[in-house]
Structure 1
């Protein structure tokens, strides 16, 4: 008879321990996964992790699965979900996801989001069985060696909170969790504005600078500001890449500015309660 698994809140561990557990549970995953304690704290605090709602499942004291739950209001998100290789394919995924869904309903959540990598057929099938529905495909981009044209203009650095507030006033804006203004302003990045209408958020890492968001005022769209801003950022931050959370429908913009699309893509999925 198999030993039973018990779950505990992630609040019982610190960020360094949680990072180790997450990497441990992601062993042998479709895409290699690695994160340290500092990066874990930075990333998931910006995503509004709920340590009391996030779960670790253990058997004989050993972590066997982990789920990170992030929450905003009555919306929750499965920010990460990993099961050790020796438990995969035995029905535990369905059991654990059902527990998370039941707990979300009990606390009054109205919906739950998640992202799943395209090619993770088992994960995708599981989430569909649990009632999640694909909403859109999310992609990422890398700048190539040269830009396709040379725009003029000056990027002015501003407080990231100002950019977030600007985005929050756009009532029609519905962005993936990782690109939402509620996430952006808490990241250790820099925000820039071009001509008071086009905004960008960049994590200026010397090894791999990351573009986290591009936003243009509604009245200024269709006038080339996004393309101009992308190209200026390309020149200022060699090797610039984006997070893999860009809606696929805006891919032509990035491709026209000398960016190439990453091979890894994700589905954004939603479960309404």
Structure 2
């Protein structure tokens, strides 16, 4: 699949926020835990300035949003040793689900990590999101533990690059 990944900008921030808000609503409608914070300018602008937010495009349309970190001590604690890239806040437009977009984004993140000499891609997701955990396992991730953040338990998962 030929996707293009570009940093989120002031001009694309509404598309980024909308994509994540819709994914969160979809998760809640299915009875799963979802992101509780709003994806507003207070949240997005500092992360955009740090170069953390990205959109993936297919045929010129934004079809996926994600956040990329090069360290993540809050979730990974002592396991954070500077050898991983961290995939956060990852969503694919629901009307484009099943086309391989998520897998293409994951492979792009793998490539970004490889370019910076990282050996793993790491992520977390709500422990109660069994379908999402299974999706990541199908894409080469393994569970390596749990963490508790703001009263929520998350599964910690990683994949070798």
Contact 2:17 2:40 in 1 (8 A): yes
Measure, in 2, the Cα distance between the counterparts of 1:93 and 1:49.
Answer: 23
Partner of 1:67: 66
Measure, in 2, the Cα distance between the counterparts of 1:35 and 1:12.
Answer: 14
What does residue range 46-65 of structure 1 map to in structure 2 within 5 Å? 50-51=51-52, 54-65=53-64
Measure, in 2, the Cα distance between the counterparts of 1:49 and 1:137.
Answer: 27
Partner of 2:128: 119
Measure, in 1, the Cα distance between the counterparts of 2:122 and 2:51.
Answer: 14
Q: Does 1:133 align with 2:133?
A: no
Q: TM-score, normalised by structure 2?
A: 0.69
Residue 39 and residue 55 in structure 1: after superposition, are their counterparts in 2 closer, same or farther (change >3 A)?
Answer: closer
Q: Does 1:271 align with 2:159?
A: yes
Q: Does 1:97 align with 2:95?
A: no
Greater Rg over alpha carbons, structure: 1
Contact 1:16 1:38 in 2 (8 A): no
Q: CA deviation at 1:77?
A: 0.4
Measure, in 1, the Cα distance between the counterparts of 2:138 and 2:114.
Answer: 18
Contact 2:19 2:92 in 1 (8 A): no
Q: Does 1:31 align with 2:33?
A: yes
Q: CA deviation at 1:136?
A: 1.7
The unaligned stretches of length 5 or more in structure 2 are 72-81
Q: TM-score, normalised by structure 1?
A: 0.44
Q: Give the length in aligned residue pairs.
A: 144
Measure, in 2, the Cα distance between the counterparts of 1:122 and 1:91.
Answer: 16
The unaligned stretches of length 5 or more in structure 1 are 141-242, 245-263
Partner of 1:214: none
Partner of 2:7: 10
Q: CA deviation at 1:93?
A: 1.8
